[in-house]
C-alpha cells in the first residue's frame, strides 16, 4: 500500500479508515444481534405452534373408522397451516397429514426430534420435530421458512455498507478541512523557515499559541536557531580576533626569519637573541590560539552535560599544576570547611581556575604569594584567588575583563584573554566574576556560584 506523503492526506485517510472500521464493526455487531433475535423468535414460534398442534390434534383416520370420524373441524385443520410454514403429522417416517406451503421438492426426513436447519428448494427452513402422543412413532414436524430472516440480514448488511461509505465520505471531507486549519501553523513555520538564510540576522520563526505541539516545535526550532546564530557569531569573532591579534607576532616572526636568511654571517649572540625572541613569539601565538579557542567554544555554548564535582578537589589539582608552571611563586590553598560539591561543567571550571592562578602568578610579585580558597555559604560558593602585586585601579577593573585588554603596566607576556575566559566561564556556570583588592594590596578575583547548582542529597 502506497502511503500518501502529505500529513493532511494521511490524517484524512486515517480518519476515513477508522470510521469505516468503527461503523462496520458496530453495524455488524447490531446486525448479528438482530439476526439472532429473529432466529430465536422463529424457534419460539415453532415450539409454541408444535405444542398447540400436539395438544389439539386427533389421531389420523384408519381403515376401521368411518369417514365421519375422520372429518375434523376447520379450526383444527387450520392448526396445520401457516404463512411460509409447513406442518406435518408423522407416524414413523410416513407423512399422515400435511398443511401449509406447497413444496414441490422433497422434504428431508425427520430422523431425530428437536430443532434443525435444512435446505428445501434452495431455501433455508427451520424444522422442529416433537412427539405427538403416547405412541413413540407418532410425531409432529413444524417447519418455518427462514427467507424473511435471511432477507432482513442481507438488508442490514447492505445498510451497514451504505452507512459506512457515507460516514467515511463525510469524515474524510471534515478531516480534510479541519486538518488544513490545524496544520496552518506548520505551513507558516515552513514559509518562515524558507525565508531564513545565512547572514539574515536574528530571524525567528513565528510562535503560535496553539496547538501545543506546534508551539513546542516552534520554540525548539527557535532555540536551535539561536544556538546556531551564537555558533556562527563565535566563529566570526574567532576569525576576526585571530586575524587581528596574530598579525603582529607573525609579522615579527617573518621579519626575524628574513633577517636570518639574508645575514648568514650574523654573530652567534645576535642569532641566539633572535631565536629566543622568535621562541617567545611562538609561545605567545600558541597561548593566544588556546585562549581564542576556549572563548569560541564558550561563546557557542556547545558544552558537555553537567556532572557533580568536588570544587575543592579541582582547585587543589589546579594549584599543584600552577606550582609546576611557576616554581618561584608560592601558592597557598585554603580548603573549605565543608564539602563543596557542585553540578557544573568540570573542564570549564578548571579552565577558569587555571587562568586565575596564571593571572595572579604573572601579575603578582616575581617571588610573591598567591592565595587560593573556596568558601561555602548557605546560598553561594565563592572561589577566590588573590596576589600581592600592584593590583588594578578600581576604575580599570571592568576594562581589564574585556578581551585583549591588559592593565596600564602589564607584566609578563599574557594574551589579554585570561580574565575574559574566567568571566565567560563564570557566566556559563550561572555565576559572576568580581575584582577587588586583596589584603596584600594586589588583585583579588572571586567567582561566585549559586548553590542552586548543588546536587540533591546522596548524589556524588
134-158, pLDDT tens digit by residue? 777 788 888 888 999 999 999 999 9
Residues whose CB is less than 8 angstroms from the CB of residue 411 and which lie 6 or more positions away in sequence, other chains included: 362, 363, 389
CB-neighbour burial class of residue 245 (10 A; exposed 0-12, middle 13-18, buried 19+): buried
Local structure of 309: helix, strand or coil: strand
β-strand partners of 120: 123
Write down the pLDDT at residue 449.
87
Average pLDDT over residues 221-245: 70
Average pLDDT over residues 242-264: 74
Q: Are 109 and 127 in contact (CB under 8 A)?
A: no
> C-alpha grid cell for residue 276?
629566543
Nearest C-alpha neighbor of 12 from the set 168, 186, 175: 175
Write down the pLDDT at residue 364.
86
Local structure of 439: helix, strand or coil: coil
> C-alpha grid cell for residue 193?
523557515
Residue 22 is inside which H or E element, if any? helix 7-56
CB-neighbour burial class of residue 94 (10 A; exposed 0-12, middle 13-18, buried 19+): exposed
At residue 159 the predicted structure's pLDDT band, cuts being 50, 70 and 90, is very high
Local structure of 297: helix, strand or coil: helix
Q: Which of 16-30, 43-57, 209-223, 431-445 has the highest mean pLDDT?
A: 16-30
At residue 67 the predicted structure's pLDDT band, cuts being 50, 70 and 90, is very low
Angstrom distance (rounded) from CA 415 to CA 283: 10
Q: What angle do CA 287, 319, 413 make, to 5 degrees?
A: 30
Amino acid at each position: 500500500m502506497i502511503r500518501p506523503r502529505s500529513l493532511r492526506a494521511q490524517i484524512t485517510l486515517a480518519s476515513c479508515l477508522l470510521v469505516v472500521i468503527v461503523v462496520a464493526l458496530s453495524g455488524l455487531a447490531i446486525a448479528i444481534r438482530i439476526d439472532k433475535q429473529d432466529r430465536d423468535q422463529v424457534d419460539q414460534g415453532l415450539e409454541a405452534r408444535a405444542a398447540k398442534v400436539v395438544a389439539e390434534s386427533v389421531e389420523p383416520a384408519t381403515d376401521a373408522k368411518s369417514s365421519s370420524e375422520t372429518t375434523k373441524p376447520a379450526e383444527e385443520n387450520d392448526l396445520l397451516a401457516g404463512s411460509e410454514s409447513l406442518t406435518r403429522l408423522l407416524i414413523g417416517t410416513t407423512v399422515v397429514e400435511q398443511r401449509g406451503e406447497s413444496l414441490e421438492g422433497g422434504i428431508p426426513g425427520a430422523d431425530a426430534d428437536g430443532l434443525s436447519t435444512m435446505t428445501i428448494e434452495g431455501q433455508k427452513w427451520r424444522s422442529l420435530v416433537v412427539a405427538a402422543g403416547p405412541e413413540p412413532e407418532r410425531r409432529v414436524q413444524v417447519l418455518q421458512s427462514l427467507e424473511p430472516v435471511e432477507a432482513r440480514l442481507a438488508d442490514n448488511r447492505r445498510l451497514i455498507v451504505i452507512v459506512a461509505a457515507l460516514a467515511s465520505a463525510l469524515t474524510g471531507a471534515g478531516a480534510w478541512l479541519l486538518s488544513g486549519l490545524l496544520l496552518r501553523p506548520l505551513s507558516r513555520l515552513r514559509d518562515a523557515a524558507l525565508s531564513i538564510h545565512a547572514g539574515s540576522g536574528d530571524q525567528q520563526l513565528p510562535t503560535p499559541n496553539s496547538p501545543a505541539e506546534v508551539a513546542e516545535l516552534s520554540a525548539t526550532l527557535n532555540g536551535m536557531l539561536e544556538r546556531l546564530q551564537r555558533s556562527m557569531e563565535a566563529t566570526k569573532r574567532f576569525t576576526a580576533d585571530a586575524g587581528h591579534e596574530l598579525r603582529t607576532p607573525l609579522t615579527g616572526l617573518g621579519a626575524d626569519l628574513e633577517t636570518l636568511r639574508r645575514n648568514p654571517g650574523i654573530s652567534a649572540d645576535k642569532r641566539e637573541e633572535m631565536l629566543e625572541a622568535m621562541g617567545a613569539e611562538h609561545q605567545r601565538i600558541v597561548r593566544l590560539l588556546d585562549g581564542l579557542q576556549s572563548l569560541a567554544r564558550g561563546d557557542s555554548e556547545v558544552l558537555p552535560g553537567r556532572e557533580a564535582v568536588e570544587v575543592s578537589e579541582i582547585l587543589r589539582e589546579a594549584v599543584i599544576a600552577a606550582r609546576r608552571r611557576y616554581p618561584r611563586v608560592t601558592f597557598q590553598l585554603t580548603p573549605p570547611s565543608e564539602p563543596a560539591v557542585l553540578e557544573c561543567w568540570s573542564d570549564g571550571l578548571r579552565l577558569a581556575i587555571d587562568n586565575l592562578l596564571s593571572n595572579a602568578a604573572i601579575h603578582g610579585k616575581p617571588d610573591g604569594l598567591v592565595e587560593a580558597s573556596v568558601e561555602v555559604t548557605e546560598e553561594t560558593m565563592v572561589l577566590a584567588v588573590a596576589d600581592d602585586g600592584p593590583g588594578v585601579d578600581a576604575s580599570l577593573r571592568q576594562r581589564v575583563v574585556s578581551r585583549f585588554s591588559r592593565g596600564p603596566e602589564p607584566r609578563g607576556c599574557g594574551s589579554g584573554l585570561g580574565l575574559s575566559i574566567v568571566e565567560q566561564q563564570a557566566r556559563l556556570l550561572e555565576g559572576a566574576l568580581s575584582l577587588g583588592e586583596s589584603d596584600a594590596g594586589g588583585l583579588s578575583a572571586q567567582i561566585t556560584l549559586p548553590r542552586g547548582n548543588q546536587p540533591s542529597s546522596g548524589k556524588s
